[in-house]
């Protein structure tokens, strides 16, 4: 009798192992990226806004030919970032509208990868928004929304929305994504801290709501240009995103962009001589340690190909090859580097 029971037990274990193996083999590798595109405007006058510097007659003399050059620089970078496996998701910020995002993903060689664009018009003073682009071959969109940032007494803050989207992957796992571009440090780092902490509280509230209302612990990806480092108060304490080394059992979020050595580059943007990491990807603990859809360990990277840089004659070393430096046209890419992780 014991022998029969043992045989049955081993059969069940082997069956479960086989299912898990097939399950893992059938799952696509999902590369998730984020990139601040730096003032990706179309060259047309927007009569609904007072900010029209990026037009042909504006301060930046932004023409259609310059728009196309920037668009081509961006799509070539995204193709390189994909490394032969089209991105599952890329979060974007500093895009003006759906038109520029569609021109990037539907009117270039990227169109063969079947991307869909999610974009909502926000309240930013300059008219720049966040967007999320995903592959319909790898993910199914369930729903999305724009989360407005409100101050005390529900006061409107002229900044970017947080974009939320919920997906199913091809195996049936649910993935919750948040794309962020928190208020800048313009006017002083200390003077603007409270604005980024307000954004962090809004995001934390949404994350906590998912944790409470989902049957299983939700799989969450938070990405963005936070205009703060991983160790600033807004991210580390208000949002509660901890480094993998300091993550504890009761914590919810893991910040994958805390260790420069593991990221293979020293920052995502450079101010004078100093590199900083403002662009980050944060995940829930359920993605960090899971047998189903999970983060591929050590895959978090700052994308830093040579063509994204030029020599820094003022502060030494290299600096980012930008579209403009002040009013001077450079014809480059962005003042930020892309970041990415892999899921499996």
Tell me how far apart the alpha carbons of residues 192 and 207 are, in angstroms, rounded to a whole number.
Answer: 23
Q: Would residue 302 count as lying in a domain? A: yes
Q: How many CA atoms lie within 13 A of 61 on its CB side?
A: 7
Instruction: Specify the pLDDT at position 5.
Output: 47
| Residue range of the domain that includes 87 | 27-343
Q: What is the pLDDT along the chain (344 residues), one digit of tens a residue?
A: 545 544 444 443 344 334 344 344 456 799 999 999 999 999 999 988 889 999 999 999 999 999 999 999 999 999 999 999 999 999 999 999 999 999 999 999 999 999 999 999 999 999 999 999 999 999 999 999 999 999 888 888 999 999 999 999 999 999 999 999 999 999 999 999 999 999 999 999 999 999 999 878 999 999 999 999 999 999 999 999 999 999 888 899 999 999 999 999 999 999 999 999 999 999 999 999 888 999 999 999 999 999 999 999 999 999 999 999 989 999 999 999 999 999 99
Instruction: Specify the pLDDT at position 242.
Output: 97
Q: Which residues lie closer than 8 Å to 218 by C-beta, 6 or more apart?
A: 174, 176, 210, 211, 284, 286
Q: Would residue 5 count as lying in a domain? A: no
Instruction: Specify the pLDDT at position 13.
Output: 39
> Coil, strand or helix: which one is 110?
helix
What pTM did the predictor assign? 0.92
Instruction: Specify the pLDDT at position 3.
Output: 54
235: its two tokens? 């991210």
Instruction: Specify the pLDDT at position 50.
Output: 83
Q: Would residue 19 count as lying in a domain? A: no
Instruction: Outline where DSSP puts E strands in 219-300.
Output: 220-225, 241-242, 253-255, 269-271, 274-276, 279-284
Q: 84-121 burial by CB neighbour count: b if 16+ within 10 A, else e?
A: eebbbbbbbbbbbbeebbbbbbeebebeebebebbbbe
Q: Would residue 11 count as lying in a domain? A: no
Instruction: Specify the pLDDT at position 9.
Output: 45
Instruction: Specify the pLDDT at position 141.
Output: 98
Instruction: Outline where DSSP puts E strands in 43-113.
Output: 89-95
Q: Would residue 307 count as lying in a domain? A: yes
Tell me how far apart the alpha carbons of residues 337 and 317 are, in angstroms, rounded to a whole number.
Answer: 16
Q: Would residue 142 count as lying in a domain? A: yes
Q: What is the CATH number of the domain that holds 78?
A: 3.60.10.10
Domain count, the chain: 1
Q: Would residue 294 count as lying in a domain? A: yes
| Ramachandran quadrant class, 152 (left: phi over 0; alpha: psi -120 to 50; beta: rest) | beta
179: its two tokens? 């794309």
Q: Would residue 15 count as lying in a domain? A: no
């Amino acid at each position: 009798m014991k022998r029969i029971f043992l045989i049955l037990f081993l059969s069940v274990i082997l069956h479960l192992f086989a299912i898990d193996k097939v399950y893992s083999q059938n799952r696509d590798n999902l590369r998730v990226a984020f990139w601040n595109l730096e003032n990706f405007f179309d060259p047309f006058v927007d009569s609904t806004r007072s900010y029209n510097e990026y037009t042909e007659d504006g301060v930046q003399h932004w023409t259609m030919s310059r728009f196309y050059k920037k668009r081509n620089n961006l799509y070539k970078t995204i193709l390189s970032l994909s490394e032969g496996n089209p991105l599952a998701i890329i979060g974007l910020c500093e895009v003006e509208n759906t038109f520029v995002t569609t021109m990037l993903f539907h009117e270039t060689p990227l169109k063969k990868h079947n991307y869909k664009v999610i974009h909502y018009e926000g309240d930013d003073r300059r008219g720049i928004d966040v967007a999320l682009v995903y592959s319909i071959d790898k993910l199914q969109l369930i729903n999305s929304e724009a989360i407005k940032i409100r101050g005390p007494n529900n006061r409107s803050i002229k900044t970017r929305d947080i974009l939320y989207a919920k997906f199913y992957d091809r195996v049936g796992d649910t993935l919750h994504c948040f794309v962020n571009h928190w208020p800048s440090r313009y006017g002083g780092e200390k003077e603007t801290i409270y604005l980024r902490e307000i954004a962090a509280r809004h995001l934390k509230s949404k994350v906590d709501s998912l944790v409470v209302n989902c049957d299983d612990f939700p799989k969450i990806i938070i990405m963005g240009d936070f205009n703060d480092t991983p160790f600033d108060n807004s991210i580390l304490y208000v949002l509660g995103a901890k480094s993998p080394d300091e993550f504890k059992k009761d914590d919810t979020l893991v910040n994958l962009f805390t260790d420069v050595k593991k990221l293979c580059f020293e920052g995502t943007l450079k101010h004078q001589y100093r590199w900083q990491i403002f662009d980050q990807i944060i995940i829930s603990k359920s993605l960090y340690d899971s047998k189903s859809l999970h983060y591929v360990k050590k895959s978090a990277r700052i994308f830093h190909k040579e063509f994204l840089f030029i020599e820094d004659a003022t502060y030494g070393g290299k600096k980012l090859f930008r579209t403009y430096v002040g009013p001077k046209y450079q014809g480059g890419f962005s003042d930020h580097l892309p970041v990415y992780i892999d899921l499996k």
